[in-house]
Copies of this chain bind each other. A is one copy, B any other.
Amino acid sequence: MATTDPARPGFVLPLLLLAGFRTLIDDLHAELAQQGHPELRPLHGFVLQAVGPHGTTATELGQRLGVSKQAAGKTVDRLVTLGYLERADDPRDARRKLVRMTARGHDGLARSASVFDTLRDRWSATLGPKRVAAIEDDLRTVAAADLFRLDVPGWFGT
């Protein structure tokens, strides 16, 4: 395997982390596509979760996701087009536009969560529940040690 030269051990860890994440995401979307959500893209699940049950605004969503309000607004646009979100005026502040999940949005989020749960169960079946929990604990530890926020990321920044 040309990309995993054993003489460079440090390269392995990030690659494996990424690979683990990707397989999870790929499996999720393969499953979601079969459950009636073929157009849901990788980040959309996180976005829906960030919107939350009570709704929010584009600006708030942006800072919650760690991206600009413009980027958040664009993503909302797309999710609105796809029927997962809807916009409404805030009666108490004419500047704000509330962003809420539609029924389809709730369905997509619920299915995402449940598919993720079964994928985690699959990992547990392969590795044993203790190992999975250990991975989560360890990652939480290094994450905390690196003073990072668990919010959904800005990916690879520009």
Does A33 interact with chain B (Cβ within 8 Å)? no
Kindly specify which of A76-84, A91-99, A113-121 makes contact with the partner chain.
Answer: A113-121
Does A107 interact with chain B (Cβ within 8 Å)? no
* Residues in B neighbouring A114, C-beta threshold 8 A: 10
- Chain B proximity mask over A3-46: 1 for CB below 8 Å, otherwise 0: 11100111111111111111111011000000000000111011
Most B C-beta atoms less than 10 A away, residue of A8, A18, A45, A117:
A18
CA distance A113 to B9 in the complex (A): 8
CA distance A11 to B151 in the complex (A): 12
CA distance A112 to B11 in the complex (A): 8
- Chain B proximity mask over A141-155: 1 for CB below 8 Å, otherwise 0: 111011011111101
* Residues in B neighbouring A14, C-beta threshold 8 A: 21, 24-25, 28, 116
Whether A127 and B142, one on each chain, are in contact in the complex, defined by CB atoms closer than 8 angstroms, is yes
Does A89 interact with chain B (Cβ within 8 Å)? no
A-B contact pairs, 12 of them (CB 8 A): A3-B152, A10-B113, A10-B117, A13-B135, A14-B24, A14-B116, A16-B135, A16-B140, A19-B150, A22-B153, A23-B143, A123-B142
Give chain A's interface residues, CB within 8 Å of chain B.
1-5, 8-25, 27-28, 41-43, 45-46, 49-50, 52, 64-65, 112-120, 123, 126-127, 131-132, 134-136, 138-143, 145-146, 148-153, 155-156
Q: Which 10 A-B pairs have the closest CB atoms?
A: A10-B116, A10-B117, A16-B139, A17-B21, A8-B113, A42-B156, A14-B24, A23-B146, A10-B120, A17-B20
